[in-house]
Structure 1
Amino acid sequence: MVQTARVSAVVWTAAGSLLAWLWLLLGQGFFWRTDVRLPRRRDPDVWPPVCVVVPARDEAAVLPAALPSLLGQDYPGRAEVFLVDDGSTDGTGELARGLARRHGGLPLTVASPGEPPAGWTGKLWAVRHGMALARARDPEYLLLTDADIAHAPDSLRALVSAAGSGGFDVVSQMARLRVESAWERLVVPAFVYFFAQLYPFRWIGRRGTRTAAAAGGCVLLRADAAARARIPDAIRHAVIDDVALARAVKGTGGRVWLGLAERVDSVRPYPRLHDLWRMVSRSAYAQLRHNPVVLAGTVAGLALVYLVPPAALAVGVAAGSTAAAVAGGLTWLIMAGTYVPMLRHYGQPWWLAPLLPFTAFLYLLMTVDSAVQHYRGRGAAWKGRTYARPEALPDEG
């Protein structure tokens, strides 16, 4: 009798997971599709001036593969690059100057803002300094891009053309992350898949929706929209600064577009699980607004959506319950099917799709670890800096 009740509970839980997946499949903006790319665009008659702002902290290892791609942009209008050295100890600034002398191309200015004051993340303090320098050039657009992002030669002109044609204040592309090591193949495509599930790209670009997000590695921002939204001052303490930027712009009436990139690539390696773990856990709890109730709901949701299907299939087979086995197996099949397009986008084999529950379990552990580090007082530690908890920041005067 007890065993029958337990199997019945598994069947009902599996049915709940199946319903959740039917909703995700059809009602979450078709997040699993990978066809949201730069919209149709028309070249402007006069190309507007653009300033590229690159915050960089200890990036000497990746800069040679990324900075020349920015300096070599084939842009018909006026453009220049501002690299802001955020207190590097590895010679990032001098290396950038040497790369500019060697490769030529767009003019490069290297500057340093000094240590960020309380209430600012290092990256946004560097962005603020770069935007202040750029403002003297009176640009119409700002391209905010990371020091580990390599752009195809036509990247800037494609972004500007898309922004102008579509009337967007923000055009952002999710750079293609590196997938070479075994752990990168297992974790990285899922990272983008989960992000798209949280922020369906189709909803972001649609008028009248509240969903807003950007990908910090590649954000083209209209200068007047930045001023209207008080970027970056209004988001100065944000750890997840790209999403905060998009929300600020959309909150002031701006239009935001986000999609997958085809020729914008991250060159930063994450060869070990430890590297990927740090990348996710440093900001996961911030994504949940440091709310323990939301954390508990997230853990329960991840378990229901990703862990229940294979567990129900296993229990159903072991206990001879056709209902549990069918519900679990069908749900797992739907889950895997939605993951295949992202694997294809990253050039990975389809047989990695059934491993998504294992990857989701890793993300669950990373999220819990992010909360543990937060309550230990470590905040979001990154590159030698530990940021205070939001409640510890000084109030605005």
Structure 2
Amino acid sequence: MWVSVASLLAWLWLTFGQGGFWHTGVRLPPRPERAARPGVAIVVPARDEAEVLPLSLPSLLAQEYPGTARVILVDDGSTDGTGELARRLGEAPGSLPLTVTSPGEPPQGWTGKLWALRHGVELAGDVEYLLLTDADIAHAPASLDSLVAAAEGASGGGYDLVSQMARLRTETRWERLIVPAFVYFFAQLYPFRWSNRPGSRTAAAAGGCTLVRREALERAGGVAAIRGAVIDDVNLAKAVKRGGGRTWLGLADQVDSVRPYPEFGQLWRMVSRSAFAQLRHSVLLLIGTVLGLALVYLVPPVLTVVGLAAGDSRLASVAGAAWLLMAYTYVPMLRYYRQPPVAALLLPFTALLYLLMTVDSAVQHWRGRGAAWKGRTYPAPSRSEGF
């Protein structure tokens, strides 16, 4: 009974005291009437992305932007012809100017993606904004204009960093089970409303789509300030906020990931490769996370069943109330992903999978295979790097 009460209290706090993390209404404001916009360079780091590039790069090259814009694709040591394919795609009539370049292998202390971003930012020249977007992200024609309008101050905005959580694919059974929970857990960890509040210690961004003022990036120390960060998007937002900048993060309506995850193992690796890094490679945080996930997500359904089986109506009622609160807060995210609300009852099972992924992430790190991505493995950054 005491465990079920603790779980219910945890859910009452999460529902009413955790920044309204479960609301999905944090979106970009409507764009004002079209006006001349400042110059933007779109920087796309790409490593072995030939499979998805035909679905994503043309959307960037076709942006309807009332200002100067160019695309810089940084080929990060690809072996599948990513660079050559990008050049061919850039020949389409009416495309924005495209530069395809390669920085070579990253030096020690740098992740490949951030080394590529640094190279692209240096080539961007004297532009006011940089759109940092992943190679698997497709943008609607007005996406860039909406981002810059928000950064410029539309509807009371005015930000140094504007980021959108791209809508991930949910076509396969495993994607539908894992993906909405991925965004839900991220928002629970970094409530968007808290992150968007000036002066708040919470800061986050979504690496797939982040527009940043060049001046704010330089004030934060440039890409070099986060050079070894595996979770680069959150660390970038923290660096910009530490430098006095205003940041904004919300869900996307015009930005979609086209990367497929048809197999469960691919989704497992997507989560586990960075989960232990999220915990700062701390054993104590790992233990606390496992216990916390168990108390918050596993206790309610287990004790509901136990209470019903034992004829203990009080236990079943308290645990069941926690389970219902859990499901209630998950429904908005399911609706955002166009999934049936009844799937919210499966969240405890999905949370169990995430718990196992987090433990596996720690195990892989201790075996020297942590934070692995496309042939590269990154060690934990030293304390002197400040991540």
User: Normalising to structure 1: TM-score of the pair?
Assistant: 0.94
Alpha-carbon spacing, 1:394–1:383, altered in 2? closer, same or farther (3 Å): farther
Secondary structure of 2:262's counterpart equals coil
Q: CA deviation at 1:40?
A: 4.7
Q: Residue 364 of structure 1 is aligned with which of 355, 365, 368?
A: 355
Distance 1:206 1:44 in 2: 27
Q: Is the 8 A contact 2:111 2:230 kept in 1?
A: yes
CA contact (8 A) 1:377 1:389 kept: no
Give the Cα separation in 2 of the matches to 1:257 and 1:369.
Answer: 32
The alpha-carbon deviation at position 320 of structure 1 amounts to: 1.5
Is the Cα–Cα contact under 8 Å of residues 118 and 394 in structure 1 kept in the other structure? Answer: no
Q: Deviations over 1:82-140 (max 9, x none)?
A: 000000000000000001113541000000000000000000000000000002xx100
The answer to whether structure 1 residue 108 and structure 2 residue 98 are counterparts is yes
2:67 paired with 1:77: yes
* 1:348 counterpart = 2:336: no
Superposition RMSD in Å: 1.3
Matched, 1:154 2:142: yes
Q: Deviations over 1:20-42 (max 9, x none)?
A: 00000000011101000003554
| Structure 1: stretches of 5+ with no match in the other structure | 1-10
Residue identity (%): 69
Q: CA deviation at 1:230?
A: 1.3
CA, structure 1 residues 72+339, in 2 after alignment: closer, same or farther (shift >3 Å)? same
**1:42 and 1:162 in contact (8 A); partners too:** no
Q: Tell me which residue corresponds to 1:121.
A: 111
Tell me the secondary structure at the aligned position of residue 180 of structure 1: coil
Selected match of 2:185 from 188, 194, 214: 194
Amino acid at match of 2:26: V
* Residue 255 (structure 2) pairs with residue 267 (structure 1): no
In structure 2, how many angstroms separate the alpha carbons of the residues matched to 1:288 and 1:71? 37
Q: Which 4+ stretches in 1 moved above 4 angstroms?
A: 393-396
Q: Does residue 223 of structure 2 align to residue 226 of structure 1?
A: no
**Separation in 1 of the partners of 2:246 and 2:57?**
29
Match of 1:33 in 2: 23
* CA distance in 1: counterparts of 2:42 and 2:288, whole angstroms: 40
Match of 1:327 in 2: 318
Query: Residues 152 and 272 of structure 1: is their aligned pair in 2 closer, same or farther, counting only changes over 3 Å?
Result: same
| Shift of residue 390, structure 1, vs aligned partner | 2.1
1:1-397 alignment runs, 5 A limit: 11-42=1-32, 45-135=35-125, 138-165=126-153, 166-391=157-382
Deviation string, structure 1 residues 65-85 (Cα, Å, up to 9, x no partner): 000000000001000000000
Question: TM-score, normalising length from structure 2?
Answer: 0.97
**Structure 2 unmatched ranges of 5 or more:** none
Q: Number of residue pairs matched?
A: 383
Seen in structure 2, the aligned counterparts of structure 1 residues 41 and 275 have a Cα distance that, compared at 3 Å, is same
Q: Which residue of 2 aligns with 1:4?
A: none
Which amino acid letter does the alignment assign opposite residue 149 of structure 1? I
The answer (yes or no) to whether the contact 1:17–1:305 under 8 Å persists in 2 is: yes
CA distance in 2, matches of 1:358, 1:374: 25
Q: How far apart are the structure 1 equivalents of 2:324 and 2:371?
A: 36
Q: Which amino acid aligns with 1:387?
A: Y
Distance 1:253 1:304, change over 3 A: same
Greater shift in the superposed pair: 80-89 or 309-318:
309-318
The alignment partner of 1:303 has SS state of helix
Inter-partner Cα distance in structure 2 for 1:64 and 1:320: 59
Tell me the distance in 2 between the aligned counterparts of 1:104 and 1:367: 45
Cα displacement (A) at 1:360: 0.1
Deviation readout 1:314-356 (Å, 9 max, x if unpaired):
1111211111100111110110011000000000011110000
| Cα 1:394–1:230 shift into 2, 3 Å | closer
Quick check: 1:68–1:103 contact (8 Å CA) kept in 2? no
Q: Do the aligned residues in 2 keep the contact of 1:119 with 1:394 (CA within 8 Å)?
A: no
In the alignment, the residues of structure 2 paired with residue 103 and residue 364 of structure 1 have an alpha-carbon distance, to the nearest angstrom, of 48
